[in-house]
Structure 1
Amino acid sequence: MNMQTTTIDCPVVIPESIEECYEMLEHDNLVGLEDFAREAGFQETVLVTQNALKRMVGERSYYQPKLFIPAIVQSLRDMRAILQQIPGRQTPVLLETDIDGEVVDVLVRQNPLAHPPFTLVTLQ
């Protein structure tokens, strides 16, 4: 996967808490990536919408557990590597990824000041 930052051309809301993430994006739509995120090096809670998750790993990997787990961990590792290079961790970041030959824009919002801190990943 090739992942790079790109520009955001609209205002972005950064939720103040994990609860606000669920309120904002419908509880059933968000998935916590606990073990996968830890394996990728994240220390905070990582929440992702189901649509973003499917697009981040590609359709083929999403439905096959043997492909899904390595794909999501690698995607999260790539994301974390880019996020570490960006100053101001409360700044929303739009990552452009190339999955299965298709460009996907993933919006990443972090709130390290929340208790507990979190990263929220959605489609743009």
Structure 2
Amino acid sequence: MNRLLMICLVLLCTGCKKENIAFTLKTIRLHEYRHSGLPTQQLYLKVCEDDTAKVLAHTNGYPSNLTLPATFSVHPAIPMTLYKKHYRFQLWGDVSGYIGGCRVDMDEYKIIFPIDMEVTNDSLSISISGSWK
């Protein structure tokens, strides 16, 4: 009985480690953004390293005159490691340029298997989704 309990505890402890676990970003859902005064245009998102502003991935376009929420596929699908980096998601329009952005701190997410991670600020509301490796 003690041996079985010890094996269960070891499996439980090793299964809960979150360090170096990569979340593979596959889609971004745009819930809302500040769009008053903006022309009708194609919207797209960029995923950047927060400290260098290096673009890691981008999405396909979506017409701004259609309803939200809209789901964008990320190209390429990128790994986002917990506790390692901060990422910036930027909304762009092909006519107006930069519209808004928000920062995602991967160290704020403690759950290993979330369906979505929601990020909201005063100019943008998005959800990111993908799979854990």
TM-score of the pair, normalised by structure 2 = 0.29
Larger RCO of the pair (alpha carbons < 8 Å, separation 6+):
1
Give the structure with the larger helix fraction. Answer: 1
TM-score of the pair, normalised by structure 1 = 0.30
Give the structure with the larger strand fraction. Answer: 2
Larger Rg: 2
